[in-house]
Amino acid sequence: MFFIDYGDVIRALAIISFIYFVKYILTVKRGLYHTQNFRLQATEKLASRDLKRQTLLDILKNDFVVPSKQLHDQIYNLTATQLLEGFKANSFTYSDVIHLFSLRALTIGIKTNAVTEEFYDDAIKKAKELDKEKDLAMYKSDDQLLLLGVPISVKDQIHQQGADSSMGLTARNFRPSHQNGLVLELLIEQGAIPFVRTNTLQAMMLPETDNLTYGRTVNPWDFTRTCGGSSGGEGALLGARGSVLGIGTDVGGSIRIPAHFCGVYGFKPTPGRITDLGIGIPRLKDVIGEGNIRATVGPLGHSTDDLVLVMKSFLKPKMWQKDKSLVKLPWRDETYRDRTEKLRIGYYTTDDWFTASPACVRAVLNAVDALRQLGHTVVEFKPKNMSTAVRLYTSILAADGIKHFLEALEGEKLNNLYTNLFLASRIPTFLRPLLCTILTIIGESRAALIVKSVGARKAYDYIELIREMKLFADHWITDMENHNIDLIISPANGLPAYHHTLSKDLFVSCSYTLIYNLLNFPAGVVPVTVVKDDEQRYSDDFNDSYTKKAASVCQNSKGCPIGVQVAGFPWQDEKVLRIMKELEDKIQFKQLPKLAQDIDIYH
């Protein structure tokens, strides 16, 4: 017979009540950080942007002749590679392209909230100079000027002369950079023209884009959904065809998730291959102390060849001359272009931590079929202990109890998207095991793991985490080697684009991307399909609160873009991009959001 010990029940209720009391006190305390000064500063910055925007619109409409609609319709959906071919064929001028994309970016920026600072006037002046110098420029070899005349958008983290690198932090407004960061400098030297900067999440640690100054960025495919993050402004602007190439950063999926959510291509290089000099850091003094899980700069675009153009532009002698910390590994074009060697590729449609939605599963299976038709051997690969990967990733990045993260706000109120992580990080150490036990008993084992992971650590415990991370990576690599696997195909995320604010819970679906940050693998995303009518559903074996939120995301998701992820061993960036290119050519995803087609720059 089952007996209830009411004393135990009362004690449990008392503990739970205490936890909620602590939560309330901490929430109130957190609210005290937010001062009127930050609101005023954010308002002033936004007002200055909007005032300049009106001036820019007048310049674009009145100071220069707007190219014809026929030319606009010819240009707006071209890749960077196709634009370069058009320049050579004299199909259009550099200023035509910059002018049209400036008007599109301005219009799309208003509709999606994707952009921060705009430099269309400077960009069109530069393009006019290129038009005048075109005869001279055409004598330069492709290898010298890989991106001549191509407009590029830049994440609001990468230093650009005269622009803030705010990273969604209000305190970073009105602190313009005095020079271009090295990554941007390298692209400009290849002829690229930076013309607009894109929005990001406050301090950039969740897959969404929202901050006090510029507000929330919406997904161009569905305004009720997020564009992802933290390079979400890039994803939204590129998805709506407001930019040709974008530069973002990735520490857990911040390039790949926006690419997946917005139907574009994105690539995270091997950490240590591309410089991070001149990249803003959302920490005090622009320096981060945690270096075991490293952010990397990478491109987003409309084709794999476009991503390769950026990689080749980065991998120049000047980068290694200025950043001695890097491995000097030039671009290996023969590996990227090789089609004779057939590879053995592993794939998985779901992991044991977060079940992928039906559309994400189908996308992987479509990619598997395509690769088999191309002659590759594709075998199932079962990722092991993904819950361990999530725990390690979260524990390492939050090992200081997110204290340095909070200090970087410089007193600004924490964005509400971080509420759950903040509260979990503030649970007293002595209560944490008990709360995890209670969560597990009531069927919330995944929430229990997150709560267990985000608390502050002692030095010994942190070093143990790093040791465990290295062992985990060794086991993963050994498993791939034992199965003779060259690359892995997987979902880019467990879900299509979330509805706004759900990233505070559904960041758990990012296990598919963060694993490759933990492993230091290069990884990229290729758009392959959209959600079908019969795929607007979700279920898993957990049946917990995350399951319910995931099901709500899949409802009414028909038409949302879905990508697949390709990942490979460290330093095998060219091989990853090769398979991305083969998938692109075989599947030929061509769909655009309605917004991209409906943009009218002539009224």
Q: Which residues are catalytic?
A: 155, 230, 254
The whole-angstrom separation of Cα 103 and Cα 568 is: 39
557 in a known ligand binding site? no
Total Cβ atoms within 10 A of residue 476: 20
Relative to beta strand 245-250, strand 296-301 is antiparallel
The whole-angstrom separation of Cα 121 and Cα 337 is: 38
- What are the respective helix, strand and coil percentages of the chain, to the nearest 5? 50, 10, 40
Contacts of 321 (CB under 8 A, 6+ apart): none
Q: Which of 237, 275, 266 is nearest to 596 (CA)?
A: 237
Q: Which of 58, 56, 145, 159 is nearest to 94 (CA)?
A: 145
Contacts of 554 (CB under 8 A, 6+ apart): 357, 358, 359, 495, 496, 531, 535, 536, 537, 538
The whole-angstrom separation of Cα 429 and Cα 452 is: 10
251 in a known ligand binding site? yes
7 in a known ligand binding site? no
* CA 139 to centroid of chain Cα atoms: 37
**Structural element, H or E, at residue 364:** helix 358-373
Sign of CA dihedral 104, 195, 154, 573: positive
The whole-angstrom separation of Cα 591 and Cα 225 is: 18
The whole-angstrom separation of Cα 12 and Cα 423 is: 20
Q: Which of 282, 236, 225 is nearest to 258 (CA)?
A: 236
278 in a known ligand binding site? no
Three state DSSP letters for 473-509: HHHHHHHHHHCCCCEEEEECCCCCCCECCCHHHHHHH
Relative to beta strand 296-301, strand 377-380 is unpaired
252 in a known ligand binding site? yes
The whole-angstrom separation of Cα 571 and Cα 10 is: 57
Spatial strand order of the sheet with 151-155 comes to 115-118, 193-198, 151-155, 245-250, 296-301, 265-268, 523-530, 561-568, 487-491, 344-347, 377-380
**Structural element, H or E, at residue 347:** strand 344-347
The whole-angstrom separation of Cα 272 and Cα 282 is: 19
CB-based contact 169:412 (threshold 8 Å): yes
**Structural element, H or E, at residue 245:** strand 245-250
Q: Which of 465, 435, 464 is nearest to 450 (CA)?
A: 435
253 in a known ligand binding site? yes
- According to DSSP, residue 398 is labeled T
Q: Which residues are annotated as a binding site for substrate?
A: 204, 230, 251-254
